[in-house]
Amino acid sequence: MFDTLGLIWMSWWCMTLFHPLHADLQRIERICSAETEESPITNLTWNWRRMELSWESSKNFPSYTCMMTSGDRRRRKKVENRKCWFSMENSLPLQGGISFTIEVPNTNISKHCRFIPEGKKGSAIENFSCVIYDVSLMNCTWQAGRNAPGDTQYFLYWKNSRDDNETECELYIKGENGMHTGCRFQNVMIEEKTTYFLVDGISSDSQIQFYDEYIELCEIERLTPPLNVSVNCTVNPAGCTITWQKPRASYEKPEHCFTYEINIQNKGEHDKDKKDPPVIVNTNKYEFENYNVKKKYILKIRARGNSCTINKSWGEWSKPIEFGENEDYFLVVLLLLIVLGTILVTLLLFFLCKRYCSFKRVFPPIPQPRDKFNTSHDENIQTENMFPSSLSCTKEVTMVEEMT
Ligand SMILES: *[C@@H]1O[C@H](CO)[C@@H](O)[C@H](O)[C@H]1NC(C)=O
Ligand SMILES: *[C@@H]1O[C@H](CO)[C@@H](O)[C@H](O)[C@H]1NC(C)=O
Ligand SMILES: *[C@@H]1O[C@H](CO)[C@@H](O)[C@H](O)[C@H]1NC(C)=O
Ligand SMILES: *[C@@H]1O[C@H](CO)[C@@H](O)[C@H](O)[C@H]1NC(C)=O
Ligand SMILES: *[C@@H]1O[C@H](CO)[C@@H](O)[C@H](O)[C@H]1NC(C)=O
Ligand SMILES: *[C@@H]1O[C@H](CO)[C@@H](O)[C@H](O)[C@H]1NC(C)=O
Ligand SMILES: *[C@@H]1O[C@H](CO)[C@@H](O)[C@H](O)[C@H]1NC(C)=O
Ligand SMILES: *[C@@H]1O[C@H](CO)[C@@H](O)[C@H](O)[C@H]1NC(C)=O
């Protein structure tokens, strides 16, 4: 038992110690290990740290064209030395395999190489996605590859520019067995940045394939709700002016960058019953003209970008705001009147009773068996008086009830 635990701990310690960071992102990779075609261009290498392709050439050519092809995406660049790199905005991820081609312009000389990441097939993470929320927080999440061994651990690295060194995730989201399934980032600066993400893995069982991706941060931002939403209604003419301010952002964006959706519902009516098309505006003000003074409404607003590199998906709804009157108001007033009436009647009864009838008369004492030897005169008198007195009290009650 202890041995097993010790072993697990040891292997965990080893895995942590031999973190793949410097094994992977700092290494220089030979792309075409098996040189088959006869070509003056040889020794293609990929430098992970500099994100740069380089090659050798047996002849000196004035220029080269290098190409990166992944599926139907292709990047092309002309260079005058034997090095080639693409900007963060223009590069392509290497995961899943990529082709590099070097051509010498105006000749039929070229070199074509395919790079396929090493490691067990299906061991790379899947469903990688990131979202920026609350202006500067970001979550990236993924799922373990379906063929990844049980002891696989993943690590995330990212960089904002080609010249930066990569940074490892500081706050992992952990799944079962402590496996990293995501990363939380704080103080994310969106601006117009493309960020490179790489998730690598290690396992004692087999080599794990990496996954990498370039993401434009502004495209994954989920906008916060519009600010200071307020409604000002007038009865005559009936109508409401709704105003609000643009959502919070990590850096200043002009008003014209946003589009808003205004959702006004009758309280008690469901979304499904609503057939009106959504109200979309590009301003910070909306005049609600179908205002019915007797109805109560619920208002919410959300924003999306329409330009300025703001995500064009809808952001979060603002907190619902209620405005207007409805039947509930009259119901409340009615209930209040009834309660007040009941209290008044009870009070009136109480004082009338106090004045015209004694407590004893209303609630007659339980007749006691008569004492054969000591008959009281008082009791006889009381019994005789009781019935008429209580009658008069009841009469008054009926009278009061007619009044209400
Ligand atoms: C190509 O790479 C091989 C092995 O790394 C090396 O021996 C050779 O010198 C390189 N060729 C050139 C032209 O640099
Ligand atoms: C390249 O073109 C030359 C003539 O321009 C031809 O002699 C040579 O065979 C061609 N090489 C290949 C590999 O097609
Ligand atoms: C990734 O997402 C798809 C679609 O939601 C799902 O079918 C698939 O199982 C997910 N992959 C993993 C490894 O969970
Ligand atoms: C981000 O991750 C944290 C921790 O798992 C979670 O509590 C939070 O709901 C996530 N937020 C979003 C917007 O996904
Ligand atoms: C990046 O890392 C290398 C090697 O660890 C170091 O020499 C270099 O100074 C670092 N560069 C930056 C910009 O931090
Ligand atoms: C907006 O962000 C979502 C993820 O939150 C993303 O799926 C979508 O593609 C983005 N939309 C645009 C237009 O970039
Ligand atoms: C929005 O309202 C808050 C108080 O509710 C106020 O402090 C803030 O200045 C308002 N924003 C603008 C842009 O007027
Ligand atoms: C509401 O609108 C009226 C007329 O348009 C204006 O006089 C009043 O000050 C507004 N009230 C608020 C709270 O903005």
Phi, psi dihedrals of residue 402, rounded to the nearest 5°: -65, -30
**What was the pLDDT predicted at 29?**
76
- pLDDT for the residue 10: 45
What pLDDT is recorded for position 152? 93
Mutate to test the pocket of ligand 7, among 228, 230, 244, 319 (most ligand atoms within 8 A of CB): 228
Question: Residues spanned by CATH 2.60.40.10 within the chain?
Answer: 126-220, 227-325
More confident position, 209 or 331: 209
Find out whether 150 and 120 touch, Cβ atoms under 8 Å. Answer: no
Q: Mean pLDDT, to the nearest integer, of 24-36?
A: 67
Minimum-distance ligand 3 atom for the alpha carbon of 146: 13
* pLDDT given for residue 357 in this prediction: 67
Cα–ligand 2 centroid distance for 64 (angstroms) = 17
Which residue's CA is minimally distant from atom 3 of ligand 1? 43
Q: What angle do CA 25, 31, 37 make, to 5 degrees?
A: 175
- Look at residue 98 and tell me whether its pLDDT is greater than 60: yes
Fold of 126-220: Immunoglobulin-like (2.60.40)
The torsion angle over the Cα atoms of residues 74, 80, 84 and 88, rounded to 10 degrees, is -80
pLDDT beyond 90 at 237: no
Torsion sign over Cα 203, 207, 208, 214: positive
Give per-residue pLDDT as tens, 209-219: 999 999 988 88
Asked if residue 353 has pLDDT above 50, the reply is yes
Distance 139 CA to ligand 4 centre (A): 6
The span from the CA of 148 to the CA of 145, in Å, is: 5
pLDDT of residue 252: 75
Nearest ligand to the CA of 59 is 1
Please work out whether the CB of residue 123 comes within 6 Å of at least one atom of ligand 6: no
Q: What is the arithmetic mean of pLDDT over 317-335?
A: 75
The tokens for 55 are 């090659």
Q: CB of 379 closer than 6 A to ligand 6?
A: no
Å from CA of 53 to ligand 6 middle: 31
- CATH code reported for the domain at 22-115: 2.60.40
Share the mean pLDDT of the chain: 79
Closest ligand 7 atom, residue 228 Cα: 1
Q: Are 31 and 87 in contact (CB under 8 A)?
A: no
* Superfamily designation of domain 227-325: Immunoglobulins (2.60.40.10)
